Copies of this chain bind each other. A is one copy, B any other.
Amino acid sequence: MAHKGTTHNKAFQDTAQAAQNCQSVCVQSIQHCLEMGGSHVEPSHMQLLQDCAEICETTATMLLRSSLQHNQVTAACATICELCAQSCDRFAGDPQMKACADECRHCAAACQQLVQQQPGGAAGTGHHGTP
């Protein structure tokens, strides 16, 4: 694809990859938590894993198509990834939860960086404001 800005494109693709990796580990983590049972299947924890998988998927797809409207979505993705990481942190000694927290934080950082690179890009404001 011939995009005008190569640097722009590289940041988009790297963040899309981070979001896809995060989605994958969240989907696997949901299955892991169901197999573990107990506190692993607390509704709030499982809800965050599902929310995180879905917003990561949407973010990845928008970035892969170089969407001009990605900014608020990317910012929301950063927030949810960070909350999901914190929820995973509570399961000390569980390698799947550790791996999930790591991917969530990696994705959150990539999203946050992309949001700050946008013109007027404070998280959640968007550079294509609704009138």
Cβ-defined contact, A27 with B126, below 8 A: no
A27-47 interface (Cβ within 8 A of B): 27-28, 30-32, 34-35, 37, 41-44, 46-47
Interface string of A1-39 (1 = CB under 8 A from B): 110000000000000100010001001101110110100
Main secondary structure of the interface of A (DSSP, over half): helix
- A47 near B68: Cβ-Cβ < 8 Å: yes
Number of copies: 4
The A42-67 residues at the B interface (CB cut-off 8 A) are 42-44, 46-48, 50-51, 54-55, 57-58, 60-62, 64-67
A34 contacts which chain B residues (CB < 8 A)?
41-43, 46-47
A103 CB–B CB distance under 8 Å: no
Question: Closest Cβ of chain B: how far from A50's Cβ, in Å?
Answer: 7
Whether the pair B41, A124 counts as a contact (CB closer than 8 A) is no
10 more CB-based (< 8 A) A-B contacts, given A27-B65, A31-B65: A20-B20, A27-B61, A31-B43, A34-B47, A47-B68, A51-B65, A54-B62, A79-B128, A79-B130, A82-B130
